[in-house]
Protein backbone atom coordinates (compact mmCIF):
# COMPACT_ATOMS: atom_id res chain seq x y z
CA UNK A 1 0.00 0.00 0.00
CA UNK A 2 1.40 3.38 -1.02
CA UNK A 3 2.09 5.52 2.03
CA UNK A 4 1.29 8.65 0.03
CA UNK A 5 -1.97 7.23 -1.35
CA UNK A 6 -3.26 4.68 1.23
CA UNK A 7 -6.48 2.72 1.07
CA UNK A 8 -9.42 4.42 2.84
CA UNK A 9 -12.68 2.47 2.40
CA UNK A 10 -15.39 4.59 3.99
CA UNK A 11 -17.18 1.59 5.49
CA UNK A 12 -14.08 0.75 7.55
CA UNK A 13 -13.90 4.13 9.30
CA UNK A 14 -17.32 5.75 8.78
CA UNK A 15 -17.96 6.11 12.53
CA UNK A 16 -14.55 7.71 13.08
CA UNK A 17 -15.12 9.92 10.04
CA UNK A 18 -18.46 11.13 11.43
CA UNK A 19 -16.91 11.89 14.83
CA UNK A 20 -13.89 13.66 13.35
CA UNK A 21 -16.22 15.69 11.14
CA UNK A 22 -17.91 17.09 14.23
CA UNK A 23 -14.60 17.74 15.98
CA UNK A 24 -13.32 19.74 13.01
CA UNK A 25 -16.56 21.74 13.04
CA UNK A 26 -15.97 22.71 16.66
CA UNK A 27 -12.45 23.96 15.93
CA UNK A 28 -13.56 25.49 12.64
CA UNK A 29 -16.28 27.45 14.40
CA UNK A 30 -13.65 28.89 16.72
CA UNK A 31 -11.83 30.16 13.64
CA UNK A 32 -15.11 31.52 12.27
CA UNK A 33 -15.72 33.39 15.54
CA UNK A 34 -12.24 34.90 15.65
CA UNK A 35 -11.75 36.08 12.06
CA UNK A 36 -13.44 38.69 9.87
CA UNK A 37 -15.52 37.50 6.93
CA UNK A 38 -13.47 37.02 3.78
CA UNK A 39 -15.12 36.67 0.38
CA UNK A 40 -16.57 33.20 -0.30
CA UNK A 41 -16.06 32.25 3.39
CA UNK A 42 -12.30 31.89 2.94
CA UNK A 43 -11.80 32.87 6.58
CA UNK A 44 -13.39 29.65 7.88
CA UNK A 45 -11.48 26.64 6.43
CA UNK A 46 -8.67 24.66 7.99
CA UNK A 47 -5.34 23.99 6.26
CA UNK A 48 -3.26 20.88 5.75
CA UNK A 49 -0.20 21.07 8.02
CA UNK A 50 2.95 19.05 8.57
CA UNK A 51 1.14 17.05 11.25
CA UNK A 52 -2.55 17.31 10.45
CA UNK A 53 -4.97 20.23 10.06
CA UNK A 54 -4.54 23.74 11.43
CA UNK A 55 -6.50 26.94 11.84
CA UNK A 56 -3.36 29.06 11.32
CA UNK A 57 -2.84 31.95 13.77
CA UNK A 58 -5.95 33.79 14.98
CA UNK A 59 -6.20 37.01 17.00
CA UNK A 60 -7.70 37.18 20.48
CA UNK A 61 -7.15 40.69 21.78
CA UNK A 62 -3.38 41.20 21.77
CA UNK A 63 -2.76 37.44 21.76
CA UNK A 64 -2.51 35.18 18.74
CA UNK A 65 -3.34 31.52 19.04
CA UNK A 66 -3.43 28.50 16.76
CA UNK A 67 -5.30 25.21 16.97
CA UNK A 68 -3.85 22.18 15.21
CA UNK A 69 -5.14 18.64 14.90
CA UNK A 70 -1.97 16.57 15.27
CA UNK A 71 -2.67 13.29 13.48
CA UNK A 72 0.81 11.95 14.21
CA UNK A 73 0.64 12.02 18.03
CA UNK A 74 -3.16 12.31 17.96
CA UNK A 75 -3.90 15.38 19.99
CA UNK A 76 -5.39 18.81 19.47
CA UNK A 77 -2.67 21.34 20.24
CA UNK A 78 -3.51 24.93 21.15
CA UNK A 79 -0.51 27.30 21.17
CA UNK A 80 -0.40 30.98 22.10
CA UNK A 81 1.90 33.81 21.13
CA UNK A 82 2.65 34.50 24.81
CA UNK A 83 4.23 31.05 25.15
CA UNK A 84 1.54 28.92 26.78
CA UNK A 85 -0.13 25.88 25.27
CA UNK A 86 -2.70 23.18 25.99
CA UNK A 87 -3.66 19.85 24.45
CA UNK A 88 -6.75 17.70 24.12
CA UNK A 89 -6.26 13.99 23.45
CA UNK A 90 -7.67 12.60 20.21
CA UNK A 91 -9.03 9.23 21.29
CA UNK A 92 -12.42 7.49 21.45
CA UNK A 93 -14.70 10.01 23.16
CA UNK A 94 -18.01 11.66 22.42
CA UNK A 95 -18.40 14.92 20.58
CA UNK A 96 -19.86 16.36 23.79
CA UNK A 97 -16.74 15.42 25.74
CA UNK A 98 -14.42 16.79 23.06
CA UNK A 99 -16.40 20.04 23.00
CA UNK A 100 -16.20 20.42 26.78
CA UNK A 101 -12.48 19.61 26.90
CA UNK A 102 -11.68 21.99 24.02
CA UNK A 103 -13.63 24.89 25.50
CA UNK A 104 -12.00 24.23 28.89
CA UNK A 105 -8.52 24.22 27.35
CA UNK A 106 -9.21 27.54 25.63
CA UNK A 107 -10.49 29.01 28.90
CA UNK A 108 -7.40 27.90 30.84
CA UNK A 109 -5.30 29.79 28.28
CA UNK A 110 -7.39 32.91 28.78
CA UNK A 111 -9.12 32.51 25.43
CA UNK A 112 -12.84 32.95 25.99
CA UNK A 113 -14.53 32.05 22.71
CA UNK A 114 -18.23 31.52 22.12
CA UNK A 115 -19.46 29.48 19.16
CA UNK A 116 -22.82 28.39 17.80
CA UNK A 117 -23.04 24.79 19.01
CA UNK A 118 -25.16 23.44 16.15
CA UNK A 119 -23.33 21.50 13.38
CA UNK A 120 -23.90 22.58 9.78
CA UNK A 121 -24.23 20.90 6.39
CA UNK A 122 -25.30 17.52 7.79
CA UNK A 123 -28.70 15.84 8.21
CA UNK A 124 -30.22 15.61 11.70
CA UNK A 125 -27.62 17.77 13.51
CA UNK A 126 -27.09 17.35 17.25
CA UNK A 127 -25.71 20.27 19.30
CA UNK A 128 -22.06 19.62 20.13
CA UNK A 129 -22.60 19.65 23.88
CA UNK A 130 -25.40 17.08 23.57
CA UNK A 131 -23.82 14.70 21.04
CA UNK A 132 -23.01 11.43 22.77
CA UNK A 133 -23.82 9.44 19.63
CA UNK A 134 -20.56 10.07 17.77
CA UNK A 135 -17.67 8.77 19.86
CA UNK A 136 -15.31 6.78 17.61
CA UNK A 137 -11.66 7.45 16.85
CA UNK A 138 -9.39 5.04 14.98
CA UNK A 139 -5.93 6.67 14.75
CA UNK A 140 -4.81 4.47 11.85
CA UNK A 141 -7.62 5.59 9.57
CA UNK A 142 -7.39 9.22 10.66
CA UNK A 143 -3.70 9.15 9.77
CA UNK A 144 -4.52 7.61 6.38
CA UNK A 145 -7.04 10.39 5.71
CA UNK A 146 -4.38 12.98 6.52
CA UNK A 147 -1.91 11.27 4.17
CA UNK A 148 -4.46 11.54 1.37
CA UNK A 149 -5.10 15.20 2.18
CA UNK A 150 -1.34 15.85 2.04
CA UNK A 151 -0.89 14.09 -1.30
CA UNK A 152 -3.99 15.69 -2.80
CA UNK A 153 -2.98 19.13 -1.59
CA UNK A 154 0.46 18.75 -3.17
CA UNK A 155 -1.05 18.06 -6.60
CA UNK A 156 -3.73 20.73 -6.17
CA UNK A 157 -1.09 23.33 -5.28
CA UNK A 158 0.72 22.55 -8.53
CA UNK A 159 -2.57 22.82 -10.40
CA UNK A 160 -3.37 26.12 -8.69
CA UNK A 161 0.01 27.58 -9.68
CA UNK A 162 -0.92 27.45 -13.36
CA UNK A 163 -3.74 29.98 -12.88
CA UNK A 164 -3.10 33.72 -12.48
CA UNK A 165 -6.72 34.80 -12.10
CA UNK A 166 -8.48 34.89 -8.77
CA UNK A 167 -8.18 31.52 -7.02
CA UNK A 168 -8.88 30.25 -3.54
CA UNK A 169 -6.19 28.68 -1.41
CA UNK A 170 -6.18 24.90 -1.21
CA UNK A 171 -8.18 24.56 1.97
CA UNK A 172 -10.30 22.16 4.02
CA UNK A 173 -13.94 23.06 4.54
CA UNK A 174 -15.11 21.54 7.82
CA UNK A 175 -18.80 21.99 6.96
CA UNK A 176 -18.72 19.67 3.96
CA UNK A 177 -15.54 17.91 5.18
CA UNK A 178 -13.65 18.25 1.91
CA UNK A 179 -10.39 19.61 0.54
CA UNK A 180 -11.04 22.15 -2.21
CA UNK A 181 -9.51 24.69 -4.57
CA UNK A 182 -11.64 27.07 -6.64
CA UNK A 183 -10.88 29.19 -9.69
CA UNK A 184 -12.88 32.27 -10.73
CA UNK A 185 -13.59 33.71 -14.17
CA UNK A 186 -13.80 37.24 -12.78
CA UNK A 187 -17.43 37.62 -13.81
CA UNK A 188 -20.40 37.76 -11.41
CA UNK A 189 -22.79 34.82 -11.47
CA UNK A 190 -26.57 35.12 -11.76
CA UNK A 191 -28.02 35.60 -8.28
CA UNK A 192 -29.62 32.65 -6.51
CA UNK A 193 -32.63 34.25 -4.80
CA UNK A 194 -33.70 31.06 -2.98
CA UNK A 195 -30.19 30.21 -1.73
CA UNK A 196 -29.16 30.52 1.91
CA UNK A 197 -26.58 33.08 3.00
CA UNK A 198 -23.73 30.56 2.78
CA UNK A 199 -24.55 29.56 -0.79
CA UNK A 200 -25.18 33.13 -1.98
CA UNK A 201 -21.75 34.20 -0.75
CA UNK A 202 -19.97 31.10 -2.06
CA UNK A 203 -21.41 31.33 -5.57
CA UNK A 204 -21.66 35.06 -6.14
CA UNK A 205 -19.20 34.72 -9.04
CA UNK A 206 -18.55 32.15 -11.76
CA UNK A 207 -16.39 29.32 -10.45
CA UNK A 208 -14.79 26.02 -11.32
CA UNK A 209 -14.06 24.03 -8.19
CA UNK A 210 -12.09 20.85 -7.57
CA UNK A 211 -11.66 18.77 -4.46
CA UNK A 212 -11.57 15.50 -2.57
CA UNK A 213 -13.90 14.14 0.07
CA UNK A 214 -14.25 10.79 1.90
CA UNK A 215 -17.56 9.95 0.26
CA UNK A 216 -20.11 10.36 3.06
CA UNK A 217 -23.73 10.11 1.99
CA UNK A 218 -25.13 8.21 -0.99
CA UNK A 219 -21.80 8.00 -2.82
CA UNK A 220 -20.29 5.78 -0.13
CA UNK A 221 -16.67 5.93 -1.28
CA UNK A 222 -13.92 8.57 -1.44
CA UNK A 223 -13.69 10.56 -4.65
CA UNK A 224 -12.25 13.60 -6.35
CA UNK A 225 -14.79 15.99 -7.86
CA UNK A 226 -15.09 18.92 -10.23
CA UNK A 227 -18.01 21.24 -10.89
CA UNK A 228 -18.57 24.43 -12.86
CA UNK A 229 -21.08 26.94 -11.51
CA UNK A 230 -23.16 28.05 -13.24
CA UNK A 231 -22.90 24.86 -15.35
CA UNK A 232 -22.67 25.69 -19.06
CA UNK A 233 -24.68 23.86 -21.68
CA UNK A 234 -22.99 20.65 -22.79
CA UNK A 235 -20.79 20.20 -19.71
CA UNK A 236 -22.01 16.70 -18.87
CA UNK A 237 -21.15 15.49 -22.39
CA UNK A 238 -17.59 16.88 -22.36
CA UNK A 239 -14.69 14.45 -22.75
CA UNK A 240 -12.35 14.36 -19.77
CA UNK A 241 -9.36 12.42 -18.49
CA UNK A 242 -8.80 9.78 -17.24
CA UNK A 243 -11.30 7.43 -18.88
CA UNK A 244 -12.57 6.33 -15.45
CA UNK A 245 -13.72 9.85 -14.66
CA UNK A 246 -17.44 10.40 -15.22
CA UNK A 247 -20.24 12.92 -14.86
CA UNK A 248 -22.70 12.20 -12.04
CA UNK A 249 -26.22 13.34 -12.87
CA UNK A 250 -27.17 12.84 -9.22
CA UNK A 251 -24.49 15.23 -7.95
CA UNK A 252 -24.22 17.44 -11.07
CA UNK A 253 -20.45 17.20 -11.10
CA UNK A 254 -17.58 15.16 -12.46
CA UNK A 255 -16.22 12.39 -10.22
CA UNK A 256 -13.10 10.26 -10.17
CA UNK A 257 -13.08 7.61 -7.48
CA UNK A 258 -10.08 7.81 -5.19
CA UNK A 259 -9.26 4.13 -5.67
CA UNK A 260 -8.80 4.77 -9.40
CA UNK A 261 -6.14 7.34 -8.51
CA UNK A 262 -4.29 5.48 -5.78
CA UNK A 263 -4.02 2.25 -7.79
CA UNK A 264 -2.74 3.98 -10.94
CA UNK A 265 0.95 3.61 -11.90
CA UNK A 266 1.34 7.40 -11.47
CA UNK A 267 -1.39 8.72 -9.13
CA UNK A 268 -0.13 12.32 -9.33
CA UNK A 269 -0.38 12.35 -13.13
CA UNK A 270 -3.84 10.77 -13.15
CA UNK A 271 -5.15 13.30 -10.64
CA UNK A 272 -3.60 16.21 -12.55
CA UNK A 273 -5.23 14.96 -15.76
CA UNK A 274 -8.61 14.98 -14.01
CA UNK A 275 -8.10 18.47 -12.58
CA UNK A 276 -6.88 19.96 -15.84
CA UNK A 277 -9.32 18.27 -18.22
CA UNK A 278 -12.40 19.09 -16.14
CA UNK A 279 -11.22 22.69 -15.86
CA UNK A 280 -10.65 22.81 -19.62
CA UNK A 281 -14.17 21.52 -20.23
CA UNK A 282 -15.84 24.02 -17.92
CA UNK A 283 -13.73 27.02 -18.91
CA UNK A 284 -14.11 26.44 -22.65
CA UNK A 285 -17.86 25.85 -22.57
CA UNK A 286 -18.42 28.84 -20.25
CA UNK A 287 -16.20 30.98 -22.48
CA UNK A 288 -13.73 32.07 -19.82
CA UNK A 289 -10.95 34.40 -21.01
CA UNK A 290 -8.28 31.75 -20.65
CA UNK A 291 -5.49 33.77 -22.26
CA UNK A 292 -5.97 36.39 -19.55
CA UNK A 293 -6.41 33.94 -16.66
CA UNK A 294 -3.65 31.39 -17.24
CA UNK A 295 0.12 31.28 -17.50
Domain extent at residue 76 = 10-130
155: confidence class by pLDDT, cuts 50, 70, 90: very high
Same domain assignment for residues 109 and 153: no
Same domain assignment for residues 78 and 57: yes
Backbone angles phi, psi at 103, to 5 degrees: -65, -35
193: confidence class by pLDDT, cuts 50, 70, 90: confident
0.85 exceeded by the pTM? Answer: yes
Dist. CA 50–CA 170, nearest whole Å:
15
* Tens digit of each residue's pLDDT (9 = 90 or more) over 274-292: 999 999 999 999 999 999 9
Same domain assignment for residues 163 and 230: yes
Mean pLDDT of 200-226: 96
> Which of 88, 103, 130 represents a domain boundary (last residue)?
130
Same domain assignment for residues 83 and 147: no
Same domain assignment for residues 64 and 115: yes
Mean pLDDT of 120-124: 95
Same domain assignment for residues 164 and 253: yes
What local confidence, expressed as pLDDT, does residue 233 receive? 98
* Tens digit of each residue's pLDDT (9 = 90 or more) over 220-237: 999 999 999 999 999 999
**Neighbouring residues of 241: CB distance < 8 A, sequence distance ≥ 6:** 273, 274, 276, 277
For residue 294, pLDDT beyond 70: yes
Widest pairwise Cα distance in the chain:
56
What local confidence, expressed as pLDDT, does residue 197 receive? 86
Same domain assignment for residues 277 and 144: yes
Whether 2 is in a domain gets the answer no
Whether 16 is in a domain gets the answer yes
* HEC sequence for 24-91: HHHHHHHHHHHCCCCHHHCCCCEEECCCEEECCCEEECCEEEEEEEECCCCEEEEEECCCCEEEEECC
Q: Does residue 87 contact residue 78 with C-beta atoms inside 8 Å?
A: yes
**Neighbouring residues of 78: CB distance < 8 A, sequence distance ≥ 6:** 65, 66, 67, 85, 86, 87, 88, 105, 106, 109, 111
Mean pLDDT, the chain, as a whole number?
Answer: 97
Mean pLDDT of 138-167: 98
Mean pLDDT of 143-154: 98
Same domain assignment for residues 53 and 95: yes
What local confidence, expressed as pLDDT, does residue 192 receive? 87
Q: pLDDT > 70: what percent of the chain?
A: 100
Same domain assignment for residues 150 and 288: yes
What local confidence, expressed as pLDDT, does residue 2 receive? 76
What local confidence, expressed as pLDDT, does residue 126 receive? 98
Mean pLDDT of 135-162: 98
What local confidence, expressed as pLDDT, does residue 33 receive? 98
For residue 1, pLDDT beyond 70: no
For residue 209, pLDDT beyond 60: yes
- Tell me which H or E stretch contains 188: strand 178-188
Of 15, 29, 18, 16, nearest in space to 103 by CA: 29
> Which of 77, 97, 130 represents a domain boundary (last residue)?
130
Same domain assignment for residues 174 and 285: yes
Question: What domain count does the chain have?
Answer: 2
Dist. CA 16–CA 102, nearest whole Å:
18
Same domain assignment for residues 285 and 190: yes
Whether 1 is in a domain gets the answer no
Around Cβ 193, how many Cβ atoms within 10 Å?
Answer: 6
What local confidence, expressed as pLDDT, does residue 39 receive? 94
Q: pLDDT > 90: what percent of the chain?
A: 95
Mean pLDDT of 161-165: 98
> Which of 130, 152, 180 represents a domain boundary (last residue)?
130
Mean pLDDT of 62-72: 98
Amino acid sequence: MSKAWPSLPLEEWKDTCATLHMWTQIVGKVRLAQTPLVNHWWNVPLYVSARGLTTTAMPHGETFFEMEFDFVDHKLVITCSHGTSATVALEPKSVATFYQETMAALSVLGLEVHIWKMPVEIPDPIPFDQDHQHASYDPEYVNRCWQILRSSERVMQEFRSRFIGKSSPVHFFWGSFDLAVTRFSGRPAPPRPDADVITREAYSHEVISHGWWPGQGPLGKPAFYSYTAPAPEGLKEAKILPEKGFYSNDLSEYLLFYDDVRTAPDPDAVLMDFLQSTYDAGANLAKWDRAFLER
